[in-house]
Structure 1
């Protein structure tokens, strides 16, 4: 049990930092609601572009905007 907890505590920050780096380098991902490999003009999630921002990028944008608006 101790080994599992230690492994989790060391791997979780590494995975988190890798995801943050991935979102900073490539903030746009493919839309999961559109048909794979195509663009759907009527898709409301991506407005027909086939690309939408990743969850981590949306969270970063929300937090940075709320910080900026709160410190003005």
Structure 2
């Protein structure tokens, strides 16, 4: 049982680091609210660009601004 918990923890760490790397390499992803395969000019989520920041990138920017504002 302890081995399964350790393996689960290692898998969770691997997935987390892979997602962080993905956010650092490519912070912008395709918009899921627009129709697939095209840009929707009236989409409020991406302003019609078809691209929007990933959730991990949004959290990184939020915490960076929070830290920057708190250390001034």
Q: Normalised by the size of structure 2, how large is the TM-score?
A: 0.95
Cα distance per residue 1:37-69 (max 9 Å; x no partner): 100000000000000000000000000000000
Cα distance per residue 1:19-42 (max 9 Å; x no partner): 101000000000000000100000
SS of the residue corresponding to residue 42 of structure 1 reads: coil
RMSD: 0.8
Structure 2 unmatched ranges of 5 or more: none
Separation in structure 1 between the aligned mates of residue 23 and residue 44 of structure 2, nearest angstrom? 22
Q: How many residues align?
A: 72
Q: Which moved more, 1:4-13 or 1:62-71?
A: 4-13
State the shift of 1:10 in Å.
1.1
SS of the residue corresponding to residue 38 of structure 1 reads: coil
Q: Which residue of 2 aligns with 1:45?
A: 45
Q: Which residue of 2 aligns with 1:29?
A: 29
Structure 1 unmatched ranges of 5 or more: none
Separation in structure 2 between the aligned mates of residue 8 and residue 71 of structure 1, nearest angstrom? 37
State the shift of 1:13 in Å.
1.0
